Amino acid sequence: MDDDIRALEAAMLVEIEGRLQGFKKERKNLIPMLQMIQERYTYLSPDALQMVADTLGLALCEVYGVATFYNQFRFHPPGKHHMKVCLGTACHVRGGDIILENFERKLGIAHGETTPDREFSIERVACVGCCALAPVVIVDETAHGHVAPSKVEGLILGFQIEKEKQAREKQENGS
């Protein structure tokens, strides 16, 4: 995790702490607290969950138990580039699971997770409605059809090259 991300997380926790004070310290407010955090910050970090547990005087495992029971909660921040791999029937039959595995291997994370630099996240999704193009991957807002396993590396590399280019330009402009 780099310094910028650490600073962002610290600021987020300070803000969450303030917002939690607006709730009565009653167990029935557990879900509304989690919803507030998720709505505002898009995910529930381990520190935020601990803060909720401390505020309500509950065990952390109890807070986790409730949060993981509901599909609406995310436990990882979304990456800058979000890969949605379709595993609906048509895509599954045409190797969607191999595509997913390739993304997971190349990025070193499992689906539902985000890379430590927050550049990429992976999600497995049900049919996205363009089965004729199976297997399908939605990268950010763009649908890619007939994705071959060998195309996965190229998709990731494209973003990495772009990031390096931007960093170089920034450095050149700054010097």
Binding site for ligand FES (CB under 6 A): 86, 88-91, 127-131, 134, 136
Q: Which residue is nearest to ligand FES (CB)?
A: 88
DSSP string, the chain: --HHHHHHHHHHHHHHHHHHTTS-S-GGGHHHHHHHHHHHHSS--HHHHHHHHHHHT--HHHHHHHHHHSTT--SSPPPSEEEEEE-SHHHHHTTHHHHHHHHHHHHT--TT-B-TTSSEEEEEES--S-GGG-S-EEETTEEE-S--TTHHHHHHHHHHHHHHHHHHHHHHHH-
Closest distance of CB 103 from ligand FES, Å = 15
Task: Tell me whether residue 34 or residue 134 sits nearer to ligand FES (CB atom).
Answer: 134
Task: Tell me whether residue 80 or residue 144 sits nearer to ligand FES (CB atom).
Answer: 144
Task: Tell me whether residue 30 or residue 155 sits nearer to ligand FES (CB atom).
Answer: 155
Closest distance of CB 148 from ligand FES, Å = 15
Task: Tell me whether residue 112 or residue 129 sits nearer to ligand FES (CB atom).
Answer: 129
Closest distance of CB 137 from ligand FES, Å = 9
Closest distance of CB 108 from ligand FES, Å = 25
